[in-house]
Structure 1
């Protein structure tokens, strides 16, 4: 495993989309949500596991760090 962040530009569009979705879910999983006075913890672990299985089945390393998708 390399410490160099993954470059999404060299990935096919479907893989890019799945990696970006995974990144977004990982960032938000564990956050607290509040609505109408109720508070709960977001848990996307099942969805992250499903995306990981799909990416790993395609030979994509999901343990490699990824740069944050920042628009300038």
Structure 2
């Protein structure tokens, strides 16, 4: 993967796309949610709907995070 392709994906949330490697279909959104929870970050409506869809598709995936201090 080139630096340019990484940069082009850097500003996208799960509602706008996930990595093309299907093995990350559940882990990528779970990591995204963990980061949002850890840092108490906001989620917009499109992002929330996408994440809820991933949660339905990945019922055995657990989100683990530690709140920032």
Shorter chain as denominator, the TM-score bin is 0.3 to 0.5
Larger radius of gyration: 1
More strand by share: 1
Higher helix share: 2
TM-score normalised per structure 1? 0.38
